Chains A and B, each alone.
Chain A
Amino acid sequence: MMAIRMMKDTGTLRPMLKAKRQRRQKKTQDDIRFRGLLESAPDAIVIFNGEGDIELINAQTEKLFGYKREELLGRKVEMLLPGRFRKAHSRHRKKYVSNPHVQPIGFSLELAGRRKDGSEFPIEISLSLMETADGVFVTSIIRDVTERKHAEETLRLQSVIVRKMAEGVCLVSDRDARIVYANPKFESMFGYEAGELIGKPVHILNYPTPANSSETVAAEIIDVLKKKGEASFEIHNVKKDGTPFWSRANISRFEHPQFGTVWVAVHEDITERKRIEEQIRILNEELEQRVQRRTAQLEAANKELEAFSYSVSHDLSAPLRSIDGFSQILLEDYCDQLDDQGKDYLQRVRAATQRMAQLINDMLNLSRVTRAEMRRESVDLSTLARIVAAELQQTAPERRVEFVIAESITAIGDARLLRVVLENLLGNAWKFTSKHPGARIEFGALHPNGASDGHSIYFVRDDGAGFDMAFADKMFGVFQRLHDASEFEGTGIGLASVQHIINRHGGRVWAEGEVERGATFYFTL
């Protein structure tokens, strides 16, 4: 064909060939350029014809979908989609081919792509139509939006959290210290309408002090933040209606894509907590005061009691002395004018007054014991018992009494009061063995839990008159006696004193005995 044309017109052959060659070269260059564009695109580009057959793909397509080029070319584009989308896409495709407009990326159909291995991933597709001499072609640009979807989800979640959370959150622009965002809780916490706080300077939320204006307070807080980057504060705030309240705020810096550098403040309303703290403080103060008042009252009462028992004992003693004295004088000066009966009566009068004097004395001692201040120290009970035993022996040196005192018994308590205890218990033992020619009085300790550890039981044991166990608990009452005065003298106060002292030490006292077989008094401290 070309040869015939050439014989007819040799003049125009050369330029025609050149033009043709140039056209072909251009086409090749266009091709190369086109290819270059295609392969370098970050998204997957798939070009398919009006029937949906894939004509051209780029490397990104291979990467994204996991196929080799040969596996895709000539196949229907729907194979890149999961089964459930194929029908819809095929319809859409046909519609598009007949009514084309460029769909920009972003105008998306919620699509997913399907890889060779069957896994799916979210995609966005944008389409454009190409009309060529060889027919209509569709270029689709496919973007893997997995990461973006994740980011969107996270943001959505955080947004829900911020909106619903119990703490108030606000963002303050670092540039001009204005509020750029506040969550609903924050707004309600401060008593503002929705959106009312946006753009307002943050210091309107700070409660001014007598020394500082709210601007200064806010500025000081921002100062600290700029230095440390993040910090926690207890801030005195003010609501829209002027009510002050306290919140605990954790504030940190954040680079916001939209607002720039902001301070994120998370506020917890501690009004309730502060109120409770204040109440506790007040209660404690009141308690302190009450304790002080009570103590003062107690001390006053004690003093009164002291003065009272003091004067009572004196006022009672004086007449007793008179009674006793003049009775004695009668006996001395008028003894020849008195018969035995008369003398006997006077002796009884004297004996009665003596007993009363002793009673007054004992009562005075008991009241002194109840009022005494307790001092706690380590007391050597063995030595104390030995001293008391010696004193007892001296009152009647002719008596033969065997004192068995265990060694090295110590306890924690008030030395003076413990001495009173031993004087009473050993004194009782001494008294109630007086009818026996020989007597044995023992002092010791039992350690039921092994070595003396504060749970020791101390005891005073005698083999004297004893008592009937049926009356064991009555013994410790004031003025309680289990023997009448003719058998053994005594006022019955001693054991009451002992019980009182032991109780003050936090211990217990009890007794075991048998008539004529002795008695044992136990006590703990």
Chain B
Amino acid sequence: MSHRHKIILLVEDNPDDIALTRRALERNDFAAEVVVAHDGAQALDYLFATGSYSGRDTSMMPKVVLLDLKLPKIDGLEVLSRLRNDERTKNLPVVILSMSNEEKDIWRCYRLGANSYIRKPVDFVQFSEAMQQFGRYWLLLNEAPPKMS
């Protein structure tokens, strides 16, 4: 696996939000590829190389997953749960990006093994700054869990 090629898996169904998030991430030079899954099922297909992604080289895991909670088909919490239950993705960094600031939701995410929880602000300027900080931390600063065989 190349250390250079960084992948962010963005799991988000709202096309506007996809566009905005992409833009916020790409404005900063993180040299990362943004892969978008439009719902929970697609996200799992990608990570486990099933369905439309069968045949994908699973040695290439994203450096971080940006996961929205409100998703069609399989929702964010379910995706998180399944990731944590599978050896291949147990330690995969997952950052929840959600509109909710209800304590219940935040608690549940951490309970299921999320690494971090970010609230989506309405103000785009704030959002851009948040994505900048997010990228700096998870793509540049953070050491991804190594693959031990």
Contact across chains for A329 and B123 when beta carbons are under 8 A apart? no
Q: How large is the interface on A (under 10, 10 to 19, 20 to 34, 35 or more residues)?
A: 10 to 19
CA distance A298 to B123 in the complex (A): 36
CA distance A357 to B99 in the complex (A): 12
Q: Which of B8-54 contact A (CB under 8 A)?
A: 14, 16-17, 19-20, 23
Q: How large is the interface on B (under 10, 10 to 19, 20 to 34, 35 or more residues)?
A: 10 to 19
Contact across chains for A322 and B17 when beta carbons are under 8 A apart? yes
Contact across chains for B17 and A321 when beta carbons are under 8 A apart? yes
CA distance A353 to B23 in the complex (A): 20
Contact across chains for A324 and B124 when beta carbons are under 8 A apart? yes
Q: Mark A346-375, 1 if CB is under 8 A from B, else 0.
A: 000010011001000000000000000000
- Knowing A314-B70, A318-B17, the reply to whether A324 touches B122 (Cβ < 8 A) is yes
For residue B141, which residues in chain A have a CB less than 8 angstroms away from its CB? none
Kindly state whether residue A326 has any CB partner on chain B within 8 Å.
Answer: yes
* Dominant SS among interface residues on chain A: helix
B17 to chain A minimum Cβ distance, whole angstroms, is: 7
Q: Which of B117-132 contact A (CB under 8 A)?
A: 120-125, 127-128
Kindly state whether residue A325 has any CB partner on chain B within 8 Å.
Answer: yes
Q: Mark A64-93, 1 if CB is under 8 A from B, else 0.
A: 000000000000000000000000000000
Which of A310, A313, A322, A353 is the one whose CB lies under 8 Å from B16? A322
Q: Which of B95-123 contact A (CB under 8 A)?
A: 99-100, 102, 120-123
CA distance A490 to B20 in the complex (A): 28
B148 to chain A minimum Cβ distance, whole angstroms, is: 39
Contact across chains for B125 and A328 when beta carbons are under 8 A apart? yes
Contact across chains for B99 and A325 when beta carbons are under 8 A apart? no
For residue B19, which residues in chain A have a CB less than 8 angstroms away from its CB? 325
CA distance A118 to B69 in the complex (A): 117
B146 to chain A minimum Cβ distance, whole angstroms, is: 36
For residue A383, which residues in chain B have a CB less than 8 angstroms away from its CB? none
CA distance A350 to B124 in the complex (A): 9
For residue B128, which residues in chain A have a CB less than 8 angstroms away from its CB? 328
Contact across chains for A318 and B99 when beta carbons are under 8 A apart? yes
Q: Mark A179-199, 1 if CB is under 8 A from B, else 0.
A: 000000000000000000000
Kindly state whether residue A410 has any CB partner on chain B within 8 Å.
Answer: no
Which of B20, B23, B70, B102 is the one whose CB lies under 8 Å from A321? B20
CA distance A350 to B127 in the complex (A): 13
- Knowing A325-B20, A326-B16, the reply to whether A353 touches B122 (Cβ < 8 A) is yes
CA distance A324 to B125 in the complex (A): 9
Most buried by A among B70, B99, B128: B99
Kindly state whether residue A320 has any CB partner on chain B within 8 Å.
Answer: yes
Contact across chains for A357 and B122 when beta carbons are under 8 A apart? yes
For residue A329, which residues in chain B have a CB less than 8 angstroms away from its CB? 20, 23, 124
B14 to chain A minimum Cβ distance, whole angstroms, is: 6
CA distance A407 to B100 in the complex (A): 38
Q: Which of A45-71 contact B (CB under 8 A)?
A: none
Kindly state whether residue A317 has any CB partner on chain B within 8 Å.
Answer: yes
Q: Which of A303-320 contact B (CB under 8 A)?
A: 310, 313-314, 317-320
Which of A313, A314, A319, A328 is the one whose CB lies under 8 Å from B124? A328
20 A-B pairs within 8 Å (CB atoms) are namely A310-B102, A314-B70, A317-B99, A317-B120, A317-B122, A318-B14, A321-B20, A321-B121, A321-B124, A322-B16, A322-B17, A324-B124, A325-B124, A325-B127, A326-B16, A328-B124, A328-B125, A350-B123, A353-B122, A357-B123
The 8 closest A-B pairs by CB, nearest first: A322-B16, A357-B122, A325-B124, A328-B124, A325-B20, A314-B99, A321-B122, A324-B124
Residues in B lying within 8 Å of A, measured CB to CB: 14, 16-17, 19-20, 23, 70, 99-100, 102, 120-125, 127-128
